[in-house]
A and B are shown apart, each in its own frame.
Chain A
Amino acid sequence: MERVIVKTNSLSKHYHVGTQTVIALDGVNFEVKEREFVSIIGKSGCGKSTLLHMIGGLDFPTSGTVIVDGMNLSEMNEEQLALFRRRKAGFIFQQYNLIPDLNIYDNITFPLELDGAVVDKEFIQELVETLHIADKLEMFPSMLSGGEQQRAAIARALATKPAIILADEPTGNLDTSASHDVIGLLKVIAEKYQQTLIVITHDLDIAQMADRTVRLQDGKIWKGK
């Protein structure tokens, strides 16, 4: 049996807006094994993005623990979390979130540069060619279409060869065939580099491509029929 790489323990996240409390996650126990491809589905606002942020070390839980690759994220300080994000996790955001004042190439290699790592140029070339943005590297994010920006963001997430890829609706702006291509590519790369892949999607076809699908409802894992 493969190792569990992501494990959450009664993970909760509450947001306080004025006097109101929004419960985005409510005692989630969730596990992903190494090299597994998991898709997360659920209604809008059910807490998918929040869960992914917790796993990616982008936010602190209100209670409960997140353990990724043997590290307890809830016990780490900001410095360590930044390091974790840089080295272990590749995050693809719902909004592509490219850095506006860097060109596409610099955006893609930015996490590597932060680490002072040597850029594997061949690998980057392979990535951008597969993602069809090889001719956009010199451009700045504001000059790219939504889909191109999304693909650049994917390239950035993969550039560091992270142990775990977290994608929040990575195909939201792509047509069906392009979406399938991108997910297919993610899958191929994940297999090739033995990465774990967690994808949030609205597209049931894409969810089907995963090894396993998890459904969230009102901040809880849905354990229906």
Chain B
Amino acid sequence: MEGKVILMLANNNRSVINKLAENTIRTNKRQFFILFLTILLSSFMLFSIFTIGLTYLDLSRLQNTRLYGSEYDIAVMNGFTEDQREILCNRSDIKSVGVLAYCGNVKSSDSDRSVNAGFLWGDKMYWESQKAPAVTEMKGHYPQTRNELLATEEVLEACGKSSLSVGGCLSLTYEDYTGIHTTDFVISGIWKGYGGDKASFYVSKDFYEQTGYDLESSGILQVKFKSNYMTGKTIEKLRESLGLSLTQVFQASEYIERSLTILFAVLGLCFIICLSAYLLIYNILYLSVSGKIRYYGLLQTLGMTKKQLVRFIRKQILLVGVTGITAGIILGISVSLILVPYVVKVLGISLGNTGLYFYPEVLTLSILVTAAAILCGVRKPVHIAADVTPVEAVKYRGNIVVPCARKKRQGNLYWRMAKDQLKNNKKRTAVVFLSLAMSLIVFFCLTTLIDSQGRRTVYPNYWDADFIIHNSTQTTEDITSLRQAIDDAFLSDIQKTEGVAEIHAVKGIPVTFPYEEGGFSDFWIKGCTEMKPYLTCSDAVSEYQKNPEKYYGMIKGIDESEFDYLNGSLGSIIDQQEFLSGKTAILQYAGFEIPKKWIGSSISFSTGNQKQEIKIGAVSYGDYYGATVNFGANLIVSENYLESLTSKPYVLSLTVKYKQSYDVETEKEIKNIIEANPYNHDLLSISKYDDMKTIQDSQSGMFETGTVISLLLLLVGMLNYINTMANSMQNRKLTFSIMESVGMSKKQVKKLLIREGMLYAGGSVFITLTIGTGITWFIFQSMNYMKIPFAIPVLPLLCAILLVMILCVLTPIVTYKRTVRNRSVTERLREYE
């Protein structure tokens, strides 16, 4: 009987508590609204930042894919064996193994006598899986039969056939392992997209098999892992397991090599975000429960048991928590999955096949972290509330401040009080610093990365020039084909262009190397025939003896500063004086290796009528002075020496430096001048600006998501601050009323609040500029592929800092005004009676 009564009572209590909980929430609207907002903001922040962050990672992977032309983590080059391929295919951690092979180069077409384009063949896995992310548009199909070609607009233009479309025909003269052929082809497809293979045709398997190349000596294996993150160890083990031969090259992509660094950076960021969400919730919960200790004490004096009180508080928090999390997630979904893609679409940015995805893990994680923060955050204040005796509770006025030893009393009153505020509320201060600094740091970091993205990933060309023009009137066999395409008028036009800082021309003339049994020319022609297996050695030698000018080379002059640069890259092995006076030359060739024995020996050459001799000081395998089309060697000599050989050297290439890198106007001007040149089809331009644009194109969407994340974080950080300040103002109302009652004027209150705001801003900015710079530097360097100097985008950072400062100062003042609401001091004091 008694048991029943108790049971009934307990049941009754529960409904009483439910009612009480709802009522308290209703009457303490402001307090609970702040708590609700905190929970909402936290779950929103977690959800949207993780969603956008994951998308950002996907996009940066996509950018990498586009930059390299296909999706792979490891490439095995210079051929591979069937066994090696087997090993890779059998591994469970590998997603795809694709095959790519070079199989010839186009020399001319029926519309252009000098074409530079390659033939490539890729297998089904390569083309359909690895290449696909870098292809944005595909008309037609991959070549099936021997005479079909897959082209890009670029390669068609290079062949002088830009009007061709799918189904069109063209005749190409190309060289493969078996010889030089001229064949009619049909365009089976045209693709648009990214990568360095846009100056190539893709061919069918049938075609590949008849070119004489084989996969064992020249094929490329491309490997893509299932996971996006790989340790260096795994990669090294994989390398060892393949048993590579000496000539094979095993190359991991920059991305996979850095993947762990990136993963740790991302995890670190996740941790900071979770921590700040936790601190935020904990702090606000703590304040809102302890702020009502008096009320809870009253409930206890009225006969509520401890257990009931705990259940009562939990109930309130649960109600607010569930609604807060739900609202936050809904907001997160609508912002990151609906609003952001919409904005991106309106701005006309194609996200390719990677949009913003819904990641269920992110949803779970956000809910878990928020819920955990609430559960942990509620434990301590609940115990305080429950353990406090009713009498103590009635006396309770805010957090008990532990008195510290009286310090020397000096300095401005307001500064002192403001500092005390920050010192006495360490948790609040930590939350504010953390959330503001975190937003600023992420903003800092992302803007730095985005700002430098182009420059970090653009390949620096020779001498970091802004524009390079190569004279490509030359053909391989015809020594007389070279034209003065870059003449004096053209040079002075470029020189006179507004925005051009300096120009530099490399000049040269064709030379022949007369045949000498066992001499340099003998070695040279034999080396060449090895690369062209369709030529027999004796045929080639007799052909050379007859027509040495068919195998002509070039002699190119450089000035002192260029010599220093080139010599430096070779390890400064050449005596400057000897070079400048024309005693030594640098042999340059990008083909086969030249044995050491030729270094130091003299070789003879002739320029038309005169026969000369010069010593080879060193060999350079770079191709700084334009692509080499001639069979013969290139000799790099001093400018003066070149001029002593001929009065009218040809300008082979022109390097232009702008006053301002990436200057659009200058760029346009120069392109116009080139357009007006009668040889414009045979002028090859390399523009740093265009390279940078290509990279920017390849990262479409990345810039935008990056900006969205950083702005979102900035916003969340600021909302956190506003929320924390609103809460703290709620708790300090009484203090301000008392201060005013003893004669503090509103102006003085504002002075105090401004200083507090300045301290918050100053602290966060300080953390941003110290730790933030460190973090940014670290992340920047870990992605600094091109080793460019670390540069901070000052303007956006200054704007963000200014924004945060203004916000920091204004928020306390505005919230103070809102709590005062025109009421007199006595009215405000009475609230606490």
Q: A interface vs B, CB < 8 Å?
A: 50, 53, 58-60, 78-79, 82-87, 91, 93, 95, 97-103, 105, 110-111, 113-116, 138-143, 156
Find chain A residues with CB under 8 A from B406 CB. Answer: 103, 105, 138
A60 touches B824 (CB 8 A): yes
Contact B745 A79 (CB under 8 A): yes
Nearest CB of chain A from residue B336's CB, rounded to whole Å:
41
Q: A95-B832, A140-B400 are in contact. Are A111 and B743 (CB under 8 A)?
A: yes
**Can you list 26 A-B contacts with CB-CB less than 8 angstroms, sorted by A residue number?**
A53-B826, A58-B824, A59-B826, A78-B746, A79-B747, A82-B745, A82-B748, A84-B743, A85-B741, A86-B742, A91-B742, A93-B829, A95-B829, A97-B738, A97-B829, A100-B734, A100-B735, A101-B424, A110-B742, A110-B744, A114-B744, A139-B403, A142-B396, A142-B401, A143-B403, A156-B742
Q: Which residues does chain A contribute within 8 Å of B739, judged by CB atoms?
A: 99, 110
Q: How far is the CB of B691 from chain A (nearest CB, A)?
A: 60
Task: State which of B405, B735, B743, B826 has its C-beta within 8 Å of the C-beta of A101.
Answer: B735
Which residues does chain B contribute within 8 Å of A142, judged by CB atoms? 395-398, 400-401
Contacts of A83 in B (CB 8 A): 743, 745
Contacts of A115 in B (CB 8 A): 743
Partner pick for A86 among B413, B743, B826, CB 8 A cutoff: B743
B833 within 8 A of A: yes
CA distance in complex: A116, B744 (Å): 12
B171 at interface by CB-CB < 8 Å: no
Q: Which residue of B lies closest to A141 (CB)?
A: B397
A97 proximity list for chain B (CB < 8 A): 738, 741, 829
Q: How many residues of chain B are within 8 Å of chain A by beta carbon? A: 34
Interface residues of B in 700-747 (CB under 8 A from A): 734-735, 738-747
> What residue in chain B is nearest A49 (Cβ atoms)?
B826
B743 touches A87 (CB 8 A): yes
Interchain CB contact under 8 A, A114 and B741? no
B632 to chain A, nearest CB (A): 88
Give A44 Cβ to nearest chain B Cβ, in Å. Answer: 13
The docked-state distance in angstroms from the alpha carbon of A99 to that of B746 is: 16
> In the docked arrangement, what's the CA distance between A93 and B734, Å?
14
Report the Cα distance A86→B825, complex, angstroms: 14
**Residues of B contacting A: mostly:** helix
Near A by CB (< 8 A), chain B positions 400-427 give 400-401, 403, 405-406, 413, 417, 420-421, 424
Whether, in the assembled complex, B564 has its beta carbon less than 8 Å from a beta carbon of chain A, the answer is no
The answer to whether the Cβ of B663 comes within 8 Å of any Cβ in the partner chain is no
Pairwise interchain contact B744-A95, C-beta atoms closer than 8 A: no
Q: Is the CB of A78 within 8 A of B735?
A: no
**Contact (A82, B743) CB under 8 Å given A113-B413, A114-B413:** yes
Tell me the smallest distance from the CB of A66 to a CB of chain B, in Å.
14
Tell me which residues across on chain B come within 8 A of A82, comparing CB atoms.
740, 743-746, 748
Question: Which residue on chain B has the smallest CB distance to residue A116?
Answer: B413
Q: List CB contacts (< 8 Å) of B800-833 with chain A.
A: 824-827, 829, 832-833
Collect the chain A residues with CB atoms within 8 Å of residue B743's CB: 82-87, 111, 114-115
Closest to A85 in B: B743
Q: In the complex, A141 Cα to B397 Cα: how many Å?
A: 9
On chain B, the residues within 8 Å of A143 by CB distance are: 400, 403
For A105, list chain B residues within 8 Å (CB).
Answer: 406
A79 contacts which chain B residues (CB < 8 A)? 745-747
B747 contacts across to A, CB distance below 8 A? 79
How many angstroms between the C-alpha atoms of A102 and B738 in the bound complex?
12
A62 CB to closest chain B CB, in angstroms? 12
- Which A residues lie within 8 Å of B417 (CB)? 102
A85 touches B742 (CB 8 A): yes
Q: Which residue of A is nearest B405, CB measured?
A: A138
Q: In the complex, what residues of A have CB within 8 A of residue B735's CB? A: 99-101
Contacts A78-B745, A114-B743 given; 9 further ones with Cβ under 8 A?
A58-B825, A79-B747, A82-B746, A82-B748, A95-B833, A101-B420, A138-B406, A143-B400, A143-B403
Shortest A123–chain B CB gap in Å is 17
Task: Give the nearest-CB partner of B749 in chain A.
Answer: A82
With the chains together, A100 CA to B420 CA distance in Å? 12
Cβ-closest 6 pairs across A and B? A86-B743, A82-B745, A85-B743, A59-B824, A59-B826, A97-B738
Nearest opposing residue in chain B for A114, CB measure: B744
Structural contact, B403 and A140, CB atoms closer than 8 A: yes
Contacts of A50 in B (CB 8 A): 826
Q: Which residues of B contact A59 (CB under 8 A)?
A: 824-827
Instruction: Select which of B396, B745, B826 is within 8 A of A58 by beta carbon.
Output: B826
* B738 nearest CB across to chain A (Å): 5
A208 CB → nearest B CB, Å: 28
Q: List residues of chain A with CB within 8 A of the CB of B741.
A: 58, 85, 91, 93, 97
Q: Give the shortest distance, in Å, between A17 (CB) and chain B (any CB).
A: 12
Convert B359-398 into 0s and 1s, putting 1 for each residue whose CB lies closer than 8 angstroms to a CB of A: 0000000000000000000000000000000000001111
